[in-house]
Chain A
Amino acid sequence: MLTRFRRCLISAMMMVLSPAIYAAWELNMPQGVTEVSQSVYDLHMLILWICVGIGVIVFGVMFYSIIRHRKSRGVKAAQFHESLSLELLWTAIPTVILIAMAVPATTTLINMYDPSDADIDIKITGYQWKWQYEYMGENVSFFSNLTTSDRQIHNQDEKGSNYLLEVDNRLVIPTGKKIRFLLTSNDVIHAWWVPALAVKKDAIPGYINESWTQIESPGIYRGQCTELCGVDHGFMPIVVEVVSPQDYQVWLDAQRSAAQAQSAAAQQDWSYDQLMARGEQVYASQCSACHGANGEGLGSVFPALKDSPVATTGSVERHIDIILNGVSGTAMQAFMAQLSSVDVAAVTTYERNAWGNNTGDVITPQQIVDAKQ
């Protein structure tokens, strides 16, 4: 009997404690890795403790009265109901405390608005639902998509440790350099936030905003979009990788040669199987969020591709045109800037042959290069 009770108790405790395997409990704002984030943290703790202090005094008096001044203890109520000096006092003291808070807050804010020159300018463009990073003057530009699989999100696979906070292409920046972020958006308002940098700024269509950071310690810092931007708002993370300036140069060069390799790849011959394999990847990262993992579509806004005329009986040219240029007045965006010619060829081939859309069409990268002209 006892053992059974003990076993129940242990399994009950396991149930309570099992979520703890996910990660340690985080209770507070991260201190972050920049001077700015540290001063924001200090400011946060200062105000928190001031609030706790005021709370202890005010609630202390309140609970003291609740315990001591109750009718059941036979207390007769006093009849005072005003005191000018007391009221002046508790107007004046908060004023002083507020000034004490405003001074460091103002200093920190002025520091955050520092407009001096940056070493590196990075333009960040928000898209539904991904980020584009453009290293200005470096000819390097790429998109950053969530890589967490749909199967993990739908609990079919076990969730990885960076669940929802992992991307295909990280924003790579060097240590010790002042980085300026220029933010704008392609469609709706997004907000770019990395807590460890204490940078949060809205990305607004048509307008440009700026923010900056300077990081001394290499590492990987993760963040998310923080302005409701539509159905996949919760699925457009940010990953910043901070490396040494030497590694940064190496990375930049690799990016440039990768871009060259990409245009070279478009000249090659691609087999049906190669295109289908690549198309499946591209579809999973770019298309499945709206059109469904199996081309089944989503609600009335996002049409199915499985058995749809566009991906079966319709012309290949029209299909490519939709992917490259989007469909005006709908949620279908233009992928011209985001996908290489090989990727577009692969995904078009995939869409026309997957899920029983067996058209047999094979689209070559050269067709895409021509369509882009």
Chain B
Amino acid sequence: MVMHTRDISKTPLKLALMAVVMFGFGFLMVPLYDVFCDLVGLNGKTQGQVAKVQQTIDEERWITVQFTSTNNDQMPWHFRPLQQQIKVNPGAWNTVSFWAFNPTEQAMVAQAVPSVSPAQGAEYLQKADCFCFEQQWLDAGEASEMKLVFTVVNDLPKEIRTLTLSYTLFDAGDFASPMLAHQ
């Protein structure tokens, strides 16, 4: 009977703790994934706002930047880039516009989600100002020209000569920030 009287109360508690920790780890994967995306440009996610600092402009090199827009399901706005593509020098700051129009009979709030292809180029496309940084609000029948100020960083890998910047417009009614609704 020697072995059988051993107190076993610690082991199950430790294992239960391990299960709880792993449940937490599942949620920890959410921010970890974002960090990972930032590091390796996973999914073509772009970084947030950067300061508009002057950099050396590489006038020898031209990068084609294409713009494309997609409406998510049930997003009735008209939404498109005003320029389909531009050629830019790495290091230079460029401004382009997207046009949005709300054809419905009620005010709506939208969120544009950016994505860059090829994904390994995502981290080199930096934005000082973008309509995707915050939700956009349009009244019924209202149109708006939305600005994007961006640069292509100098150390973009040599083999990349074209970057495509895509915006998908979502109906953000369920996620509208209260600040915006009061405007």
Contacts and interface: CB of A to CB of B under 8 A. Distances in A.
Given A325-B76, A326-B76, A334-B76, A121 B44 contact: no
Interface in A303-350: 324-329, 332-334, 336-337
A52 B113 CA distance: 48
B117 interface: yes
B115 A186 contact: no
B70 A184 contact: yes
Interface string A123-137: 101001000001011
A136 B72 contact: no
Contacts of A184: 70, 115, 166, 168
B71 interface: yes
A208 B73 contact: no
A94 interface: no
A326 B71 CA distance: 13
Interface string B69-102: 0111111100000001100000000000000000
A325 B44 contact: no
Interface of B: 43-45, 64, 66, 68, 70-76, 84-85, 103-104, 113, 115-121, 157, 159-162, 164, 166, 168, 170-171, 173
Contacts of B164: 121, 182, 208, 210
Contact of A207 (B43, B160, B171): B43
Contacts, number: 93
B173 to A, nearest CB: 8
Given A117-B162, A186-B72, A328-B74, A373 B168 contact: no
A115 interface: yes
A125 B76 CA distance: 16
Contact of B117 (A182, A324, A329): A182
Q: Rank and list the top 10 A-B pairs by shortest CB-CB distance, nearest first.
A: A208-B166, A325-B76, A187-B73, A206-B113, A208-B115, A207-B115, A210-B117, A326-B74, A115-B118, A208-B117
Contacts of A336: 76
B168 A136 contact: no
A209 interface: yes
B161 A209 contact: no
Contacts of B43: 207
Contact of B66 (A121, A186, A187): A121
Interface of A: 115-118, 121, 123, 125, 128, 134, 136-137, 182, 184, 186-187, 205-210, 324-329, 332-334, 336-337, 372-373
Given A182-B164, A186-B72, 12 more contacts: A116-B159, A121-B164, A134-B68, A206-B168, A207-B43, A328-B74, A328-B171, A328-B173, A333-B74, A334-B73, A334-B75, A373-B103
B70 A125 contact: yes
A49 B3 CA distance: 54
A117 B161 CA distance: 6
Nearest to B141: A373
Contacts of B44: 207-209
A200 to B, nearest CB: 16
Nearest to B171: A328
Nearest to B70: A184
Contacts of B104: 325
A209 B68 CA distance: 13
A206 B170 contact: yes
Contacts of A207: 43-45, 113, 115, 166, 168
Contacts of B162: 117-118, 121
A325 B74 CA distance: 6
Contact of A186 (B73, B103, B116): B73
Contacts of B161: 116-117
Contacts of B73: 128, 186-187, 205, 326, 333-334
A208 B113 contact: no
Contacts of A205: 72-73, 168
Nearest to A188: B73
